[in-house]
Amino acid sequence: MLDYIVVGLGLAGISFCERLERNNKSFVAVSDNSQTSSIVAGGLYNPVILKRFTLAWKAQEQLEKAIPFYQGLEEKLKIKLDFKVPVLRRFASVEEQNLWYEAADQKVLSSFLSTRLVQNENPMVDAPFSFGEVLGTGRIDTATLLKSYANYLMEQQLFLEETFDYNALKISKEHVEYKSIEARQIVFAEGFGIKHNPYFKYLPLNGTKGELLTIKAPALLESRVIKSSVFIIPLGDDLYRVGATYKWQDKSNIPTQEAKSELLQKLDTFLTCNYEVVNHVAGIRPTVADRRPLVGRHPEHGNLYVLNGFGSRGVMIAPFAAEQLFAAIKQKEPISEEMDISRFTKKYFERSD
């Protein structure tokens, strides 16, 4: 009898598996890698919503959990994951500069927004109104993390690489059975794959398609993230990730020419050097109608749980939400009301009727 089955091995699944291992709980993870949002993510941790100069939801608490979490994974897996990199917000006008200064004066933002105007010294970037710098930012190499963690679990014989078969799941009051595996609890961390989950598909997870490009630009020579109409994220070796798009209708992981054209058009408004597009990827972000995560216990089945709905901020939210879910299961501690799925219990019973 295992303690847990964890379905899904993106940022949510890894965060929960790691929480289990650090608390000496037995588990097995099941995933077919069909959901690519964690793989194709930009990987930035940035506490500020740069479109409006506002603090992201619970950003301070999330960063306090996330930074040590990824440091621990670096030591455990013996890989480099956390790349400290400044984020510069390109100003389009003097008015935007003034709005930035006003935001930086706010107590909740003062530790994250520098009041020093960063002059543009890169001739390959058009930024006549300079930049504002966000403090305490960085990039997690999510693709390396997912691959390395899956390999780690395989070596420990704790990973089933397969599509989860909901018809093979048997639920009793005391435990669950999945094929030949028995466990006390099961946690679904499937991202957009929740739409196929008969137990949690009632939850209002919409999914937003995001596409990113990787460009090679030897002349750019930029080591900082630049946020304008799109992000430019330095990856090393003259490579930069450019993104991202937000589309609500298309729910496929297939890159589109339309999104590529949109990204390049925006990029060309401020990048002046030549570049080559070397990669183009797409994934569905698990976004929720009220922009809050989906965490908690099933309304009827006491040993079924969900960990989902992190949107485009999975790098920051996942360790924070996974810790809360684990504490809720083991110590009966309350989950933050804003992300507890109990807020949608009425919707579940309405659908059951």
Higher pLDDT, 39 or 254: 254
Per-residue pLDDT of 295-315, as tens digits, reads 999 999 999 999 999 998 999
pLDDT at 228: 96
In the block, residue with structure tokens 């937000």: 246
Higher pLDDT, 289 or 12: 12
Interatomic CA distance for residues 63 and 339, integer angstroms = 17
Higher pLDDT, 353 or 124: 124
Interatomic CA distance for residues 134 and 189, integer angstroms = 31
Interatomic CA distance for residues 252 and 232, integer angstroms = 24
Per-residue pLDDT of 250-262, as tens digits, reads 999 999 999 999 9
Summary mean pLDDT of the chain = 95
Mean pLDDT, range 225-238, rounded to an integer: 96
- Under 8 Å between Cβ of 25 and 3: yes
pLDDT at 324: 97
The whole-model pTM stands at 0.94
Determine whether 277 is exposed, middle or buried from the number of CB atoms within 10 Å of its CB (0-12, 13-18, 19+). middle
Greatest extent of the chain over all pairs of C-alpha atoms, in Å:
65
pLDDT at 37: 74
- Under 8 Å between Cβ of 309 and 197: no
Mean pLDDT, range 338-344, rounded to an integer: 97
Mean pLDDT, range 147-159, rounded to an integer: 97
Whether the ω angle into residue 322 lies within 30 degrees of 0, i.e. cis, is: no
- Under 8 Å between Cβ of 134 and 48: yes
Higher pLDDT, 17 or 289: 17
Within 10 Å of residue 123's Cβ, how many Cβ atoms? 11
Per-residue pLDDT of 65-113, as tens digits, reads 999 999 999 999 999 999 999 999 999 999 999 999 999 999 999 999 9
Decide if pLDDT at 352 tops 70. no
